[in-house]
Copies of this chain bind each other. A is one copy, B any other.
Amino acid sequence: MDLITVTGLAAAFCTTTSFVPQAIKTIRTKDTSGISLGMYALFSFGTLLWLIYGLCSYNIPIIIANAITLLFALIILTYKIKYR
């Protein structure tokens, strides 16, 4: 595996897992006042489109990364709607 591919995989790992600490913080504190509903609505919809794009183009890394990201984005969005 070349250095460019390793960089891409590391990038995907970081941006995918970055939503985990936000989801944990939101679940624990229920503090969603500073979180933008617009961001998580648009981001979740965009991640769903990425997932559809991955499924239609048989791209496994895009499918896996966006399935995980969508799960955490939807958790944060649900808390934002419930506790705003």
- Answer yes or no: A78 CB below 8 A from chain B CBs: no
User: In the docked arrangement, what's the CA distance between A54 and B25, Å?
Assistant: 31
Are B4 and A45 in touch, CB under 8 angstroms? no
Known pairs A7-B56, A8-B50, A25-B34. 20 more at Cβ < 8 A?
Answer: A4-B56, A7-B52, A8-B49, A8-B53, A11-B46, A11-B47, A12-B46, A13-B46, A14-B49, A18-B39, A18-B42, A21-B38, A22-B35, A22-B39, A25-B36, A25-B38, A25-B39, A29-B34, A31-B33, A34-B34
Q: Which residues of chain B are near A15, meaning CB under 8 Å?
A: 42-43, 46-47, 50
- Please determine whether A18 and B31 come into contact, CB atoms closer than 8 angstroms: no
